[in-house]
């Protein structure tokens, strides 16, 4: 059984002019100790998927359909208090901006100790000891001294390390990392990714890594889900998706990334832009931009279907194959 199962998840934002469907039938699974990359452009719904799983949807957004199961138990219908017990204990979170995920008024030690004691039955001294150990583990030099520093006394990269320590402190089964390196410089980004990878391997923690950067995914993830307009367009092992993308959107996305050593005069261009939530076209939401569009795409919406070996894509061009296989 997978650690986390998301099935047909729907998230709506009610507005005066009717409900906007921000997530429309998202299904994915994360296995024990696995890194699942979730990639997509702004507005594709990748962060929303993360917030829905951890129960932190911004109102008025709400889950209106589907199920989220952690270790086989539903967590999408839990009360606020019940969810609080899971958040931090079983599912940790790392957000993009380390400055806003830390309280500027408390020392990092106090924040770590508080979080540890909420989830684990430890005395103050024991919790402090664990906090120092964690800070050392995430690569903060001289942790016994730095534990009494305030967040503003750390640099961006160091702050993100503290946030990782916070997310790991109750030894959760799953960490939702939402753009953990986007606000950081390239050389620091490489450090943080290496750290996250190492720690999760050691603690056997599964990670849902949400990012717009295919490079980060390629280096870190085991499997990847490509999202487009509130749906999963393609899901599969990262190597396969990067090297042999199936869905026309993924193909375009990969060609649009400029790469060192690859001399092209022009990059592949996907014409147009992702549709707004209130004007998602009928049929496949990618059909107006798709180079391989045919009649069926404009009418009927494709679900994820097998597209060759260990590949799943939501695209009608693989339908025949699915039937034959």
Partner 1 sequence: MARQRAPDPSATPMLEVRDLAKYFDVSKPWLARLIERSPRQILKAVDGLAFDINKGQTFSLVGESGCGKSTVAKLVVGLHAPSRGVIRFEGRDVADAQSRADSAALRRRWQMIFQDPYASLNPRWRVRDIIAEPIRVFGLVKSRREQEDMVAGLLRQVGLSPADGEKYPHEFSGGQRQRISIARALSSNPEFLVCDEPTSALDVSVQAQILNLMKDLQREFGLTYLFISHNLAVVYHLSDKIGVMYLGRLCEVAGAKDLFARPQHPYTRLLLETIPDLEMTGREREPVAGEVPNPINPPSGCAFHPRCPFANERCRSEVPMPTESAGHIVACHAAEEGRLPDATYTPPKQPVAS
* Residues lying near partner 1 in the complex (CB under 8 A): 41-42, 155, 157-158, 185-191, 193-194, 212-216, 218-219, 238-239, 242-246, 251-262, 264-270, 273
Min CB(184)–partner 1 separation in Å = 9
Cβ nearer to partner 1, comparing 174 with 233: 233
Phi and psi of 21, rounded to 5°?
-90, 100
The alpha helices in the chain, defined as continuous H runs, are: 46-54, 80-86, 108-119, 124-137, 143-146, 156-168, 186-203, 214-220, 238-243, 248-256, 295-299, 319-324
**First and final CA of the chain: distance in angstroms?**
25
Q: Using the minimum distance from each CB to partner 1, give the nearer residue, 142 or 256.
A: 256
Give whichever of 26 and 216 is closer to partner 1, judged by the CB atom: 216
CA atoms of 212 and 242, how far apart (whole Å): 14
Q: CB of 186: closest distance to partner 1 in angstroms?
A: 4
Phi-psi region of 135 (alpha: psi -120 to 50; beta: other; left: phi over 0): alpha
Nearer to partner 1, 63 or 318 (CB): 318
Q: How far is the CB of 202 from partner 1 (least distance, A)?
A: 15
Q: How far is the CB of 90 from partner 1 (least distance, A)?
A: 29
Residue 64 or 149: the one with the smaller Cβ distance to partner 1 is: 149
Nearest to 34 by CA among 235, 268, 324: 235
The size of the chain, in residues, is: 325
Nearer to partner 1, 61 or 237 (CB): 237
Strands 305-306 and 312-313: antiparallel
Contact 238, 217 (CB under 8 A): yes
> Which of 65, 255 has the CB closer to partner 1?
255
Nearer to partner 1, 20 or 188 (CB): 188
Cβ-based nearer residue to partner 1, 79 or 269: 269
Alpha helix positions (H), 74-155: 80-86, 108-119, 124-137, 143-146
CB of 255 to partner 1, least distance (A): 6
* Cα 196 from Cα 164, distance rounded (Å): 8
Smallest distance, partner 1 to C-beta of residue 164, A: 14
Phi then psi for residue 205, to 5 deg, are: -95, 135
Pairing of strands 35-39, 18-30: unpaired
Q: CB 308 → partner 1: shortest distance, Å?
A: 9
Q: How far is the CB of 226 from partner 1 (least distance, A)?
A: 12
How far apart are CB 237 and partner 1 at their closest, in Å? Answer: 10
Sheet of strand 223-228: strand arrangement? 91-94, 174-178, 206-211, 35-39, 223-228, 231-237, 312-313, 305-306
Per-residue burial over 157-186, b = 16 or more CB atoms within 10 Å of its CB, e = otherwise: bbbbbbbbbbbbbbebbbbbbbbbbebbee
């Amino acid at each position: 059984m997978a650690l986390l199962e998301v099935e047909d998840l729907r998230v709506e934002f009610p507005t005066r002019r009717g409900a906007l469907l921000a997530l429309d039938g998202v299904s994915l699974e994360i296995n024990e100790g696995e890194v699942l990359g979730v990639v997509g452009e702004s507005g594709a719904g990748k962060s929303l998927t993360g917030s829905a799983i951890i129960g932190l949807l911004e109102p008025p957004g709400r889950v209106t359909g589907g199920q989220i199961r952690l270790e086989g138990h539903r967590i999408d219908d839990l009360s606020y208090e019940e969810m609080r017990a899971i958040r931090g204990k079983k599912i940790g979170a790392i957000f993009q901006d380390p400055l806003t995920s830390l309280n500027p008024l408390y020392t990092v030690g106090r924040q770590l100790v508080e979080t540890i004691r909420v989830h684990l039955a430890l005395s103050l001294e024991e919790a402090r000891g664990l906090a120092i150990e964690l800070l050392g583990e995430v690569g903060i030099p001289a942790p016994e001294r730095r534990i009494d520093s305030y967040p503003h006394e750390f640099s961006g990269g160091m702050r993100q390390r503290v946030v990782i320590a916070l997310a790991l402190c109750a030894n959760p089964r799953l960490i939702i990392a939402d753009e953990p390196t986007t606000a950081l410089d390239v050389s620091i980004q490489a450090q943080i990714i290496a750290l996250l990878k190492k720690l999760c391997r050691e603690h056997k923690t599964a990670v849902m890594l949400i990012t717009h950067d295919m490079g980060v995914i390629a280096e870190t993830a085991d499997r990847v889900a490509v999202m487009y307009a509130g749906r999963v367009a393609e899901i599969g092992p990262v190597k396969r998706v990067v090297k042999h993308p199936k869905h026309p959107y993924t193909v375009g996305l990969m060609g649009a990334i400029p790469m060192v050593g690859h001399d092209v005069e022009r990059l592949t261009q996907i014409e147009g832009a992702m549709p707004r939530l209130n004007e998602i076209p009928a049929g496949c939401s990618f059909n107006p931009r798709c180079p391989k569009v045919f009649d069926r795409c404009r009418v009927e919406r494709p679900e994820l279907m097998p597209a060759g070996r260990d590949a799943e894509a939501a695209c009608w061009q693989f339908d025949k194959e699915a039937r034959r296989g």
